[in-house]
Amino acid sequence: MREKLKDSVFKIWIGLSTSLVFIVVVYIFLYIFINGAGSINGEFLFSAPKGMPIGSEGGIFPAIVGSLLLMVIACAFASILAISTAIYLVFYCTSEKVKRLIHLIIQCMSGVPSIILGLFGYTLLVLHLGFGRSLISGGITLGVMIFPYIQVRVEKTLIEVDKAVITSSYALGVSKVYTLFKLIFPMCKFDIVSAITLAGGFAIGAAAPVILTAAVIFAPVPESIFSPVMALPFHLYILTGEGISLEKAYGTALVLMLILLVINIISVILNFTRKEHE
Amino acid sequence: MNILEINNLNVSYGSKQVIKNLSMNIEKNKITAVIGPSGCGKSTLLTTLNLMIAENGGSFTGEILFKGKDILSYEIDYLRRMIGIVFQKSTPFPFSIYKNLTYAPKYYGIKDKNRLNEIVENILKRVGLYDEINKNLNMLATKLSGGQQQRLCIGRALTVEPEILLLDEPCSALDRKNTANIEEMLLELSKDYTIVVVTHNLSQAKRISDYTAFILDGELIEYDTTENVFNNPKDDRTREYIKGIYG
Amino acid sequence: MRKIREKIFEILIKMLTLFSVLILAFVVIFIFKESLTFFKEVSLLKFITGRRWNPLGPPEELSILNIIWGTVYVSLVAIAIALPIGIGTAVVLSCYTNRNVKRLIRGIVDILAGVPSVIYGFVGLLVVVKFFEVNLSLASGESVLSGGIVLSVMLLPFIVSTCDESMEKIYREYSQSSRALGVSKSYMIRNLLLPASKRSILASVVLALGRGMGETMAVMMVIGNASIIPRLLGKAQTIPSLIALEMGMAEVGSLHYHALIASGFVLMIMLLIINGLLYVIKNRMDI
């Protein structure tokens, strides 16, 4: 009898938990899609914020562009470093000790909260190096944030390449660099691009690092990498936090979610294409 | 004429010695079969000949002469180009057939489209794939059948114009028909290339090779013309091995 | 020519790797160096045991005990909420589903992990905070509890995936022999699987604690950001939100500026201890 009761309580518990996870996800999406859909139109997407206080009218075009540019810079910065590190660890590093040390450091890096990276970007890039609040400061800070994410995935992809295929390339008398560029990269390109894309999504949604390093309440579409920019997450925070316009906030949240959706769809397609190729 | 001369070769992985004091010469434009039970050092011998042994974590002492000169005196790229190797498991690159065959020629600086097409056509004819896949050069090499993949890999090794072709059990994963195809192809190729083939399959060695070497526990037990080794072995161990397999 | 290019590439790769590794050192050294200036003026002990944070003065008081408590409190509330839900979901995921449902649930959990924190803060502010204000007629819905609820959703993916991983292994290992004894599945899970997963559950709690304490936006938008002694239904402040809110306003080089960096330093040390703990737990898990 007691066993039966325990059994039921247990099943109710795990059933409720799983349902709750589903409900929360569906709720958040529906909430933003339903409330935000009405705010989105051509003007909202393609014009600058207007009104007094700024943002209460007009659109979010500079924020969309700013966020995308921040993402591109972050991805470029992070992927150059991450892919290099992965290549070094898989193809050049011969000492197990060095490998373990680098892995440890990268793991630590992924545990550093984004606000600390923001603080670092602010003191080093914005103040000491004099970049100011700018596209470049924010991009690099976000790049540092997504570096471990890309590195871990690229390394995994490179390790998984069939050793026999690499050996047969060397057996043709072909050099390591040629093998890397003509054989291994083409084999792994979908996985690498997919890792970078997902990391880009992570970067575009991050607000904490850009608050201190790049984002301002209002700026036009940036002219150079040293210009301050608007960013979607920060804009959303300002619109709600300062109570400027709830309607515009819903719209901004929806645009941010839609961009992330597109990024994730791209990565799914990339994965799918890769499987087709095999 | 001997294209390869191996003198007092010792190969070891760490403290484990895999090949012991092995000396043999390999004649140009002949097929030499290397037989022996698994783990006897046959494959190690092949990887030593084109110096891939170091990358696999092994080392060797002794002397190997390629065309009368120590292999260590050649540039490693050049040596590997001259001594091609094909492994047991076929390893087509996950690209098109065309790209598999132009991969190495492009590395060696051949950019001209016509020249590349010519190479691809020649190679495909040599390995007997021309009629089967000529129209499908853009097909993924990984979609070929097992036997076709192996022939493509042999073809790929030929694209760098080697003088010697080392084959490590090239047919062990194939059925009879594909094996027969490859054997026929090897006989054809031996007119232009020196071939060293490691095999488990004694009847295959008998069918295609001119010379046979029997290796046991890293030692060369017997090395003679294939006819002598199979019909008139001098060493008891050779006789036992050949008998043992035949039952 | 080719040899030179090979060598150049190798050197380039090595230099970029070195640079990447040094960035972490940069982060730590920079924050340490900048907070050192502060600790010359105010002792570390006073900084972390004093309760008053009043950077604008007078008198200028810069101590963060309340804020440290706030940081830990919100995370603990979030874990208390997320843990039962996360474990429940992980159990379903590892024991009760076939491959397709597994993929669906994992997908949902991945989505949860992919939503930006500012969106959580936004929805939290408009839904959770408002709910408290309207239904419980609190003066302000911004509270530790609101922060904990919002944060719990964000921590769920970490808990689910950490637990699921080891639970699946344990389930595969023992389900057959347990079934042979004629014991029901739920009995096996309650009496064998859950006790055997203790360590990974602990690991997930520690991991979630680290993530929660470092979270900025979602918490900052719903917690009220008042540096007072935190209570469950009252406002509070966390270190990340303190930095995010005040860093931009603090005059560069002032004591306030250095105090903010020092608080980041304190946060980093706390997370380092937590990660060290996690490392120990994980290493013991394999034995």
A261 in contact with C, Cβ within 8 Å? no
We report the CATH number of the domain holding residue B236 as 3.40.50.300
Of A54-63, A126-135, B238-247, C47-56, where does mean pLDDT reach its minimum? B238-247
Q: Please name the helix (run of DSSP H) or strand (run of DSSP E) that holds residue A242, with its range, or none.
A: none
- Is the domain of C210 the same as that of C270? yes
pLDDT digits (tens, 9 = 90+) for A232-254: 999 999 999 888 888 999 999 99
- Is the domain of C6 the same as that of C65? no
CB contact under 8 A, C17 and A117: no
The total of other beta-carbon atoms located within 10 Å of residue B182's CB is 22
pLDDT digits (tens, 9 = 90+) for B150-208: 999 999 999 988 999 999 988 888 888 889 989 999 999 999 999 999 998 888 999 99
Q: What is the ipTM of this complex?
A: 0.91
pLDDT digits (tens, 9 = 90+) for B86-139: 988 888 998 899 999 999 999 888 889 999 999 999 999 988 888 888 778 889
- Is the domain of C70 the same as that of C164? yes
In degrees and rounded to multiples of 5, residue C58 shows phi and psi of: -80, 150
pLDDT digits (tens, 9 = 90+) for C262-281: 999 999 999 988 888 888 88
pLDDT digits (tens, 9 = 90+) for C110-153: 999 999 999 999 999 999 999 988 887 777 788 999 999 999 99
Residue C99 belongs to some domain of the structure: yes
Distance of residue A223 Cα from the nearest chain C Cα, in angstroms: 23
The answer to whether B240 touches B216, Cβ cutoff 8 Å, is no
Distance of residue A104 Cα from the nearest chain C Cα, in angstroms: 10
Task: Using the structure block, give the residue that is written with the tokens 């492009």.
Answer: B106
Residue C230 belongs to some domain of the structure: yes
> What is the spatial distance between Cα C80 and Cα C271, in angstroms, rounded to a whole number?
19
State chain C's mean pLDDT as an integer: 89
Strand partners, B194: B164
Distance of residue B208 Cα from the nearest chain A Cα, in angstroms: 24
- Is the domain of C16 the same as that of C97? no
Residue C47 belongs to some domain of the structure: no
Going by C-alpha positions, the residue among B195, A7, A212 that lies closest to residue C246 is A212
The answer to whether A214 touches A133, Cβ cutoff 8 Å, is yes
pLDDT reported for residue C70: 95
pLDDT reported for residue A251: 94
Six token digits for residue B4: 């390869």
pLDDT reported for residue A21: 95
> What is the spatial distance between Cα B192 and Cα B152, in angstroms, rounded to a whole number?
18
CB contact under 8 A, C244 and A118: yes
Looking at the predicted structure, is the pLDDT value of residue A79 above 80?
A: yes
Over pLDDT 70: what percentage of chain C? 99
Q: In this structure, are strands B83-86 and B164-168 parallel, antiparallel, or unpaired?
A: parallel
The total of other beta-carbon atoms located within 10 Å of residue C100's CB is 8
Q: Which residues of B touch A (CB under 8 A)?
A: 50, 52, 55, 76-81, 84-87, 89, 91, 93-95, 103-104, 106-107, 140, 142, 153, 156-157, 159-160
- Is the domain of C73 the same as that of C10? no
Closest by Cβ to A175, choosing from B77, B86, B106: B77
Q: What is the CATH number of domain A58-277?
A: 1.10.3720.10
Number of domains in chain C: 2
The answer to whether B123 touches B159, Cβ cutoff 8 Å, is yes
Over pLDDT 90: what percentage of chain A? 68
Report, as an integer, the average pLDDT of C250-272: 91
Regarding predicted confidence, which is higher, B14 or A195?
A: A195
Contacts of A91 in chain B (CB under 8 A): none
pLDDT digits (tens, 9 = 90+) for C151-203: 999 999 999 999 998 899 999 888 888 888 878 888 889 888 999 899 899 99
pLDDT digits (tens, 9 = 90+) for B54-84: 877 889 999 999 999 999 999 888 898 899 9
Q: Which residues of B183-213 are buried (b: 16+ CB within 10 A; e: fewer)?
A: bebbeebbeebbbbbbbbbbebbbbbbebbb
Looking at the predicted structure, is the pLDDT value of residue C287 above 50?
A: no
CB contact under 8 A, B81 and A173: yes
Looking at the predicted structure, is the pLDDT value of residue A143 above 70?
A: yes
A174 in contact with C, Cβ within 8 Å? no
- Is the domain of C22 the same as that of C155? no
- Is the domain of C79 the same as that of C18? no
Going by C-alpha positions, the residue among C118, C146, C120, C144 that lies closest to residue C131 is C146
State the count of interchain CB pairs (< 8 A) between A and B. Answer: 65
- Is the domain of C239 the same as that of C280? yes
Going by C-alpha positions, the residue among B75, B73, B102 that lies closest to residue B160 is B102
Q: Strand order in B219-225's β-sheet?
A: B83-86, B164-168, B194-198, B31-35, B211-216, B219-225
Sign of the torsion formed by the C-alpha atoms of C75, C78, C83 and C84: positive
Contacts of C247 in chain A (CB under 8 A): 118-119, 122, 212
Task: Using the structure block, give the residue that is written with the tokens 């490693």.
Answer: B76
- Is the domain of C24 the same as that of C120? no
CB contact under 8 A, C240 and A176: no
Helix segments in chain A, DSSP class H: 2-37, 42-46, 61-87, 96-111, 114-120, 135-160, 163-171, 176-179, 185-205, 208-213, 232-241, 246-277
Report, as an integer, the average pLDDT of A117-137: 92
Looking at the predicted structure, is the pLDDT value of residue A27 above 50?
A: yes
Residues 35 through 74 of chain A touching chain C, CB cutoff 8 Å: none
Distance of residue B51 Cα from the nearest chain A Cα, in angstroms: 9
Contacts of B94 in chain A (CB under 8 A): 165, 187, 277-278
- Is the domain of C27 the same as that of C67? no
Report, as an integer, the average pLDDT of B9-31: 92
- Is the domain of C9 the same as that of C143? no
> What is the spatial distance between Cα B61 and Cα B44, in angstroms, rounded to a whole number?
13
Looking at the predicted structure, is the pLDDT value of residue C219 above 90?
A: yes
The answer to whether C241 touches C225, Cβ cutoff 8 Å, is yes
Looking at the predicted structure, is the pLDDT value of residue A277 above 70?
A: no
pLDDT reported for residue A204: 95
> What is the spatial distance between Cα A100 and Cα C69, in angstroms, rounded to a whole number?
35
Six token digits for residue B181: 């195809």
pLDDT reported for residue B247: 39
Which DSSP symbol is given to C251? P
Distance of residue A248 Cα from the nearest chain C Cα, in angstroms: 12
Confidence tier at A1 by pLDDT (50, 70, 90):
low
pLDDT digits (tens, 9 = 90+) for A198-220: 999 999 999 999 999 998 888 88
- Is the domain of C13 the same as that of C67? no
Query: In terms of residue numbers, what domain contains C31?
Result: 2-41
